[in-house]
Amino acid sequence: MRPVRFVGGTLGALAPFGLFLFGVSWLAFSGAPDERGFWPILLAALALGLLLARDPKAYAENAIDGMSQRMVMLMVMAWLLAGVLGALMNSSGFVDSLVWVATRAGVSGRWFVAAAFLVCSAVSTATGTSLGTIIVCAPLLYPAGVELGSSPAVLVGAILGGATFGDNISPVSDTTIASATSQSADIGGVVRSRLKYALPAALVALVFYVALGSVNMVGETAHANTMVGGVPRGLLMLLAPAVTIGTLLKRRHLLEGLIYGILVALAVGLVSGLLSVSDILVIDREAFVARGLIIEGMERGIGISVFTVLLMGLVAGLEGCGVLERIIGWATKRSTTPRHAEVWIFATVSASVLLTTHSVVAILTTGRFASEVGSAHQLSAYRRANVLDITVCTYPFLLPFFIPTILAASMTASGLDAGLPPTSPLMAGLHNFHSWALLLMVLIAVVTGYGRGKGDS
């Protein structure tokens, strides 16, 4: 990085980042729909950095260097390809098939809540998107579950919890990719090492969903086979994420796993009739455009991709003044044990996600800090990645001013026509027992050392 001095010294160097944090927090509280709304804020922050830099050219070169990092390009490709895989899975009727199996099994009440958690966990793990899981699953599961005697608030919490599970554990999740790559760890190894934290948390959550998920035990099984349509044929699409996950668990490259999964999804979808050629790609000659699931899937990744590129440019512009080095050095001196280092990593990423209201932003912002402070105390790359990822999979799914809780609550409107009660973001987060269990899990791991050392290498 080229050295850069700022008008106002350290305060001037931090001003662009302060503008960014203020802007994204304001937009998040205002209900910004996606990362595209953050683009103007990042551009404004970069512009402020240029104006305050005593050598604008050096600041601009640092920003471009930050944008062009290998990790950034890897994540951009991952989001584009994961979007394609998710689009193919959703359009094939995969979710409908999972719901069909649950209802035909006669589950209702508390057991439907448990089934909803498992269904959403499967969908989020397969597609790697928590928001997509909420959008796809909530309109199907919420009306059916409430009609079958499930507690509305606990059911929404289970849907949100299942979405959290995949966001934390899926090898194609943006937080998994960000946490692994920021710590120079292979994704397959990170996923394997994370199971010791994710599975106990999921089991605890499942117990609470079963214990508290029913409001009416009378006639719980009534209508269980008539609530939701669908056919089991969509379960064939499980082969696609299975191939992707299996490839990554063998420590093959991320792009290999995603492309193999897309090819399998295309083959299974076309052969089984779940997808047609016109679904995948169609040419609109009159409008002179191409459309289809592949294009739509890639478009899903554009918002977060541009956001990440601009963000890394902003962070790199800040690095030139040496502020990050001083912060890392200050924290390193005060981290005298591995536990202290983990406390600093946990506290730093917690503050970052609460300020930015965005999981991936928090990981990318604190990734270098976690790597250097953790490495100084021999914390493995897997351990550092797990502390980062587990932490950011808690607050956004618990607190009522984050997009996942707001989105989950808004999806309960799907039951208004049937006279079903809506749920608030606060109640959705309070009943997301999986994220509460994850928060407890990471605190236990940091305090007791559970998973540290050989178990996380």
* pLDDT value of residue 13: 85
Tell me the average pLDDT across 280-299: 84
Tell me the pLDDT band of 227, cut-offs 50, 70 and 90: very low
Q: What is the pLDDT of residues 40-91, one digit of tens each?
A: 988 999 999 999 988 889 999 989 988 888 777 877 887 788 778 878 887 8
Angle (nearest 5°) at CA 162 between 438 and 78: 90
Range in 59-63, 212-216, 386-390 the model is least confident about: 212-216
**Dihedral (CA of 175, 181, 184, 189) sign:** positive
Residue linked to tokens 């294009």 = 295
**Residue 232: inside a domain:** yes
Predicted confidence (pLDDT) at residue 141 exceeds the cutoff of 50: yes
Q: Average the pLDDT over each of 348-352, 382-386, 398-402, 409-413 and give the range with the smallest value.
A: 409-413
pLDDT at 401 over 50: yes
How high is the mean pLDDT of the chain? 82
Q: Is the pLDDT of residue 102 over 90?
A: no
pLDDT at position 128: 82
| Residue 5 belongs to a domain | no
What integer is the mean pLDDT of 7-20? 86
**pLDDT(228) > 50:** no
Rounded distance between C-alpha atoms, residue 250 and residue 231, angstroms: 32
pTM over 0.95: no
Residue 210 resides in a domain: yes
CB 237 within 8 A of CB 274: yes
Confidence of residue 29 (pLDDT cuts 50, 70, 90): low
- 182 falls within a domain: yes
Q: Which pLDDT value is given to residue 217?
A: 45
DSSP 53: B
Look at 193 and 258; give whichever has higher pLDDT: 193
CB atoms closer than 10 angstroms to residue 3: 10
CA distances to 13, 49, 317, 328, 331 from 324, in Å: 11, 16, 11, 6, 11
Residue 263's pLDDT band (cuts 50, 70, 90) = very high
Q: By mean pLDDT, which of 24-38, 118-132, 266-280, 309-323 is the weakest?
A: 24-38
Give the span between the Cα atoms of 186 and 203, in whole angstroms: 26
Q: In terms of residue numbers, what domain contains 174?
A: 10-456
- Give a yes or no: residue 2 inside a domain: no
- Answer whether residue 414 shows pLDDT above 60: no
Q: Is there a domain that residue 140 lies in?
A: yes
Tokens of 127: 């597609």
Q: Does residue 3 form part of some domain?
A: no
Please check whether residue 29 lies inside any domain of the structure: yes
* Least confident residue range of 344-348, 402-406, 419-423: 419-423
Distance, in Å, from the CA atom of 439 to the CA atom of 391, rounded to the nearest integer, reads 7
Distance CA 64, CA 79 (A): 21
| pLDDT tops 50 at residue 331 | yes
How many domains does the chain divide into?
Answer: 1
Residue 415's pLDDT band (cuts 50, 70, 90): low
- Which of residues 249 and 172 earns the better pLDDT score? 172
Q: Work out the pLDDT band at 226, boundaries 50, 70, 90.
A: very low
Mean pLDDT confidence for 211-227: 56
Q: State the pLDDT at residue 220.
A: 42
